[in-house]
Amino acid sequence: MERDTHFIGQSSAFLDAVERASRAAAVRRPVLVIGERGTGKELIAQRLHHLSPRWGEPLVTLNCAALPETLIEAELFGHEAGAFTGATRARAGRFEEADRGTLFLDELGNLSMAAQERLLRAIEYGEVVRIGSSRAVTVDVRIVAATNADLPRMAAEGTFRADLLDRLSFEVITLPPLRAREGDVAELADYYGRRMASELEWGRFPGFSGAAMEALEAHEWPGNVRELRNVVERAVYRWGDEAAPIAEVVFDPFVSAWGLRAMAEVVPAKKAPEQVLVPVVTTLPAEIASLRESVEAHERALILSALERLRWNQRKVAAALGLTYDQLRHCLKKHGLRASGG
């Protein structure tokens, strides 16, 4: 599937960050983009480039966390043949590749102190020297950097160069987490849901049920938009019924009665388990004939009693019954229990 290239959202916190990026695009100064994982830092970098006078020149990206420390400097500044073991031929670095364009340094906080020093010199003087060479190469590069690290704290602790931070922070754009973007969860869920329905060649997108949307909006979204996209697309593909609103949402695909985590929890703990308050139900239908029917009727009665006692708050009911939210949703579907009652 193609990567996202545009922004979706209407909250003021989100729109303010996008507007700041739009204004900063025309200025030939470094920009630092701050935000949690999955908030769209790379999209902001793309916007800064494509709205700038450099839009027709290269946008070069380097993920500083994706390479070992020994290779970061070679990737940034290039190297000559024989500069180190394995360097069989000369190679231009990302700075030279981004000449007249934009260099996006993602996960900036992972740069070593040595790489930080060389980066500072390249920014200050507009020159880079390949590893194994003594000749400086002049480059015209705009730096956009991104991180989810607390760089001011790292600078105070001596793990990030304060002078480099000063050079990079002409403008700082902080992206809000999804949980702070009021109203955007529903809009994003609809967008990704429709796109997944189209990929599955459905004739229509049925949307989400009220309970499912309530669960989506109540989630904390530690992975932000990237996590929401996975959750929504997984819900659409697993639902498989374009005629009915999607009523099941799985936030953690690793949760399973047979998963490694669940099996590990079977090992007896040394301390007594927390008490679970479950109402005792003694009245069962008289016409039950088999043990299976009796067990299922008792299970349904227990769940219904807990739902009524806790006013159909499914998360509280799941906790009271010792179930995960997804396990409870499965039970509700199996027993035909809906928000309006059984």
Residue that the structure tokens 């299970």 belong to: 299
For every one of its 342 residues, what pLDDT tens digit does the chain have, with 9 covering 90 and above? 445 557 899 999 999 999 999 999 999 999 999 999 999 999 999 999 999 999 999 999 999 988 887 788 888 998 888 777 777 788 898 999 999 999 999 999 999 998 999 999 999 999 999 888 889 999 999 999 999 999 999 999 999 999 999 999 999 999 999 999 999 999 999 999 999 999 999 999 999 999 999 999 999 999 999 999 999 999 999 998 999 999 999 999 888 767 665 555 544 444 434 444 444 444 445 555 566 777 777 788 888 888 878 778 888 888 888 888 778 888 888 888 875 444
β-strands 142-147, 102-106: how paired? Answer: parallel
Alpha-helical runs (H) found in 78-209: 94-97, 113-125, 151-157, 162-168, 184-199
Handedness of CA 90, 95, 100, 102 (dihedral sign): positive
Domain spanning 180-253, CATH class: mainly alpha
pTM value > 0.85: no
What superfamily in CATH does domain 274-342 come from?
A: Homeodomain-like (1.10.10.60)
Q: Which residues contact 220 (CB under 8 A, 6 or more apart)?
A: 179
In angstroms, rounded to a whole number, what is the distance separating the alpha carbons of residues 37 and 75? 24
Question: Which SS3 state, helix, strand or coil, does residue 174 take?
Answer: strand
Residue pair 234/191 in contact by the 8 Å Cβ criterion: no
Exposure string for 63-101, b = 16+ CB within 10 A, e = fewer = ebeeeeeeebbbbbbbbbeebeeeeeeebebbbbbbbeb
Tell whether domain 12-84+91-176 is in CATH 3.30.70.890: no
Domain boundaries, the chain: 12-84+91-176, 180-253, 274-342
